[in-house]
Amino acid sequence: MHDHIKSEELHLEGLHCADCAGTIEGTIAKVGGVKSVKVGFTTGRMKIDYDPHKVTLQDLVMRVEKIGYKVKQEAHKKFEKRNFWSEGQVQGMIISGAALAAGLALRVLTADQPLFHLVGRGVALSVLCFLLATFAGAFNFARAGWASIRRLRFTMDALMTMAIVGAIIIAEYIEAASLAFLFSLAELLESFAVERARNSLRALMKLTPETACVKHGESEIALPVAQVEIGDLLIIRPGEKVPLDGEVVSGYSSLDQSPITGESVPVSKEVGETVFAGSINVEGYLEVRVSKRSENSMLARIIHMVEEAESQKAPSERFVERFSRIYTPTVVALAVVVAIVPPLFLGGAFNAWFVKALTLLVIACPCALVISTPVSVVSALTNASRNGVLIKGGVYLEEMSRIKVIAFDKTGTLTKGQLKVTDVVSLNGMPEIEVLRLAASLESRSSHPIARAIVDAADGTPLQAIAGFESLPGKGIRGTVNGEQYHIGRPELFSRSGLNLPSQELQSLQQAGKTTMLVGSEKAIVGIIALQDEIRGDAREMVRQLQAAGKEVVMITGDNPETAKAIASELGICHYHAALLPEDKVKEIKLLEKKHGKVAMVGDGVNDAPALAAATVGVAMGVAGTDTALETAHIALMSDDLSKLPYLIELSRRAQRVIKQNIWASIVIKFTLAIGVFPGLVSLVMAVVIGDMGASLGVTSNAMRLARFRAKDENRGAETEERKT
């Protein structure tokens, strides 16, 4: 049966608040044949699964447009520039404003006598103007409001529609027209403010060109990127953008790949190296063999993950939702009491108290409160993505601001991960060249960085055949050479066999900060291979900045204690834990969480996967082009730039501050207005201008500051400008 289910993704216009998303979801979910529907407010997209035998896509589009929203298919296509003046919402707002102004002028400047009577009421020309203003202003949002009323949902559209109808019932035509005009203006301004936040994500989508120059024999043809196949040969000239991921097969150049990795300096690319879609070819001519289709490129995956991050709701967003579920019904119930009790039991004037009730209805919807968090989160996430930091949800953004301890793996994280053999020590009579040959033969079956370094050191030396190869995770490897079983691995692997360890030689090498591997059989240890890794140039400054920010920095490594001590001392790290197996790293993360609270783990995303998953926030670095690492971590640093960590900490802190500012400002404004209704200090118009339009624009503008946040480059003592939204 599921074979008949079809999935579509549509782009929506006019989606200016989370309530709108809920209205659309509720309307479409009731249509027969619809299996699931999800509307993302911050992305402006609707994902829908439906049975095409029961309902057509056109029917679903018509249902959405019937309640006042515009639908565009092919959501991932380039976005054409919107014509502001041709939009129905804008035209309705202009007509509403003009009619309201005309009605007020007639009321003030003329006698404005009734033209006719209807239902016992005199209808003057000004009243007709006010009714026209009401109809033109309310036309767009009243349809969505009616859809919400039918489903008994107290959305802003529904509450405003009820307030306008109520004002007309009691003949408060100026109030009704003012509400319709001001709310249509507020919706329009909110819509464009929210679009600015969405545009920061769309800017990523516009990084890849629509066409690619494909080489066929001696000719060149331009094809849409969607039609380019894996294996096709691309021609990329200086100044052009790379349209698809691939491997350089001819040429040499420097590429600006900051959209992917956040690296500010162009990266040299030569034959055999990978290039990413969205990168800019700075100087040379390149021919690139396509390795991934457009929908699977690294940039496409980044965009998809940023979009999907919306579903990972931040704790503050869940708080707002819980608060709204209590706040809105409470204020609506209060409005009903205000409309009924004073006129019936306290001798109050009906019209006066009814207007107060209508004002409370307008104040009842926490529109600004509901949009305050998601707009802040999407602004921060897209800022991070442009800086080469992929955060998989608001929950991890907020958690990062609360982290107490940051634990680092050593190899490939604090160090470059480019190990080199520095010493080969012969023991028990085996020549050094044979020790290296034996070690390289055993390691030739492994892909571990240590194994690659040993094999590279033995380059040109004929290797021996290995039988019975076995990997011992976290310890070493073993295999049979010429009928005898040999091991290569950490000293602990041999100490359990009862062999005497060359303690003096080991200690001397380890105190120099070198990683040591023993080579031997069940009978004797025949040699020591010492390797050394270079500390990353930005590691010391990064540790200093994190410590200055109040974070406890810890190093956890599988390397020996002496080497770990030497590296930690050089970096200024006081706390380190060495000789840890993968499962020991997980235990250490748990112990750190128990002792300090929330812990972030920074590693390579592959070897450290268990520890990354166990931490409050797992941060994988240098993952551009690494699918496994992208899936493993909660946060991914696309390049090996450690300076992104202090930036990430500061971004998360600022995001947390902005979210709190927005939430409390929205709550204070709403409660202040609600209290001011009773003594008559707050009118219907003030409720719209301040409580809805003003508050929504305020929180959105505040949130957009996160999109313009700039990362400090401490090494240069200046600020690195980020692309503005």
Active site residue 409: yes
Nearest 5 degrees, angle CA 266-CA 271-CA 276? Answer: 50
CA distances from 381 to 75, 552, 572 (A): 20, 25, 31
Q: How far apart are CA 179 and CA 186, in angstroms?
A: 10
Q: What is the largest CA-CA distance in the chain?
A: 119
3-state secondary structure labels for all residues of 581-600: CHHHHHHHHHHHHHHHCCEE
* CA dihedral sign of residues 583, 589, 595, 598: negative
Q: From the CA atom positions of the chain, what is the Rg in Å?
A: 33
Tokens of 643: 């300076």
Helix (H, G, I), strand (E, B) or coil at 289: strand
The answer to whether 18 and 370 are in contact (CB under 8 A) is yes
Q: Are 514 and 563 a contacting pair, CB within 8 Å?
A: yes
Instruction: Give yes or no for a contact between 467 and 479, defined as CB atoms under 8 angstroms apart.
Output: yes
* Strand pairing category for 711-713 and 718-720: antiparallel
Amino acid identity at 175: E
Other residues' Cβ atoms within 10 Å of the Cβ of residue 575 = 13
Residue 385 to residues 372, 381, 619, Cα–Cα distance (Å): 21, 6, 14
Strands 476-481 and 420-426: unpaired
**Among 245, 256, 409, 533, the one annotated catalytic:** 409
- Strand residue runs (E) in 403-466: 405-408, 420-426
Which residue's structure tokens are 């442009």?
386
φ and ψ at residue 250, rounded to 5 degrees: -160, 140
Report CA torsion sign: 446, 448, 451, 455: positive
- The 3-state DSSP composition of the chain as helix, strand, coil percent (nearest 5) reads 50, 20, 30
Q: Which residues are catalytic?
A: 409
